[in-house]
Amino acid sequence: MIRIALPLAAVTLMGCTPVATRPEPGPAVPPAALTPCGAEKVSHYVGKTRSASVEREVARLSGAKAIRWIAPGMAVTMDYREDRLNVDVDDNGVITAVRCS
């Protein structure tokens, strides 16, 4: 009796084995992460000179809740706010970096 029951149990359990499937292909390149301050949206302004129109465009395109223009030697607080865009400028007013904090 055991000779019959054992193979039947094995065949029955094989029906419960999950079938290996191929995963669905995902996107080839993951989308770039967007920062809360929108720095990646205005990175093309690096190298441009600060002006009233550039300030308006940076504010509009970034969507940042606050923008801080930082000149060399300027005192700035060390508090971190992910929704604030920092725009670093050199002595000539040329934008050298845009970043969140």
d(CA 83, CA 61): 14
Q: Percentage of the chain surpassing pLDDT 90? A: 56
Burial of 48 (0-12, 13-18, 19+ CB in 10 A): middle
On whether residue 11 sits in a domain, the answer given is: no
Q: Is residue 88 part of a domain?
A: yes
SS3 13: helix
In a domain, 25, yes or no: no
**pLDDT of residue 45 exceeding 90:** yes
Q: Does 30 reside within a domain?
A: no
Q: Which of 46, 52, 58 is nearest to 95 (CA)?
A: 46
Q: Is residue 31's pLDDT more than 60?
A: no
- Residue 29 domain-assigned (yes or no): no
Q: What is the pLDDT of residues 70-95, one digit of tens each?
A: 999 999 998 999 899 999 999 999 99
Structurally, the chain folds into a number of domains equal to: 1
pLDDT the model gives residue 35: 83
Residue 87: which domain range? 39-100
